[in-house]
Chains A and B, each alone.
Chain A
Amino acid sequence: MSSKAGEKRNKLVIICSKGSLDMAYPPLMLATTGAAMGMDVDLYFTFWGMNMISKKTIDSLKISPVGNPALPMPNILGMLPGMTSMTTSMMQGKMKKIKMPSIREMIKTAKDSGVRFHACSPTMDMMGLKREDLIPEVDDIIGAATYLELASEDAITLFI
């Protein structure tokens, strides 16, 4: 179903599927901005995206130089021990410099702005996660059918 002519979509639904530091920021930035613009925003966390909302991993997301051609490091070097943590601290240093908030702070801001957080039930099963393993900002645990229903309400949908 598409919008009526001249009418703008007012709902944003993003699937967060990645668990690396660089991929955690875009959905949170869009979600917070969307909520600030008066949109209804839902984030659906699945697969490695669960790392963003799991108590154990939220503060230790990393970025790997391997398989990332945007980083100035050959894969063969990136594979060496310590390279992932080196790349991660380089990125964190750059983010600190431009006063970029941490993922935890971004989630808090998003939540305060009205963004809803949904965890994917099959992923939780697969990763052996329970409700209490997730940060309290998570609203509920949903499956594909609920996601599709959210997304079908004339929403902008993104898979990140």
Chain B
Amino acid sequence: MSSSQSGVKPTTVVDSRGTMCPGPITDLFRAYRNASIGDIIELQATDPAAKSDTEAWARRSGNEIIAVIDEKDYLRIQVRIIKKGR
């Protein structure tokens, strides 16, 4: 996680701020379905479960979290899409 301080420029930004579980994962999944291999999706979330849930999602779906940036009142979680399911 070399770029964990500021992150990289994402392909898509998903703003899930204000939604609670399962909002962030549902929004991320929507973006993931439209994404291509190599894309970087940035999930923005205020849900305190978002980090742990996105990590679980990434492990399960075979994708990679490249940065988690704490913006004080929300998180920016950057996911590199390296595997596409359905």
- Interface residue tally for chain A (C-beta within 8 Å): 15
- Interface residue tally for chain B (C-beta within 8 Å): 18
**Interface flag for B66 (CB, 8 Å):** no
**Interface flag for B57 (CB, 8 Å):** yes
Q: How far is the CA of A29 from the CA of B47 in the complex (A)?
A: 15
**Complex interface bits, B65-83 against A, C-beta within 8 A gives 1, otherwise 0:** 0000000000000000000
Judge whether A36 and B26 touch: CB under 8 Å. yes
Judge whether B18 and A38 touch: CB under 8 Å. no
Instruction: Label chain A's interface by main secondary structure.
Output: loop
**Complex interface bits, A59-92 against B, C-beta within 8 A gives 1, otherwise 0:** 0000000000000000000000000000000000
Instruction: Label chain B's interface by main secondary structure.
Output: helix
Contact A32-B26, Cβ < 8 Å, known A37-B56, A37-B60: yes
Judge whether A99 and B23 touch: CB under 8 Å. yes
Q: How far is the CA of A141 from the CA of B61 in the complex (A)?
A: 31
Judge whether B56 and A36 touch: CB under 8 Å. no
- Choose from B22, B60, B85 the contact partner of A32 (Cβ within 8 Å): B22
- Choose from B20, B53, B86 the contact partner of A98 (Cβ within 8 Å): B20
Q: Would you list 9 pairs from A and B whose C-beta atoms are within 8 A, ordered by A residue? A: A8-B60, A29-B22, A33-B21, A33-B25, A33-B26, A36-B22, A36-B28, A37-B60, A38-B85
Interface residues of A (CB under 8 A from B): 8, 29, 32-33, 35-39, 98-100, 109, 113-114
Interface pairs A-B: 3 shortest CB-CB: A36-B29, A37-B60, A38-B85
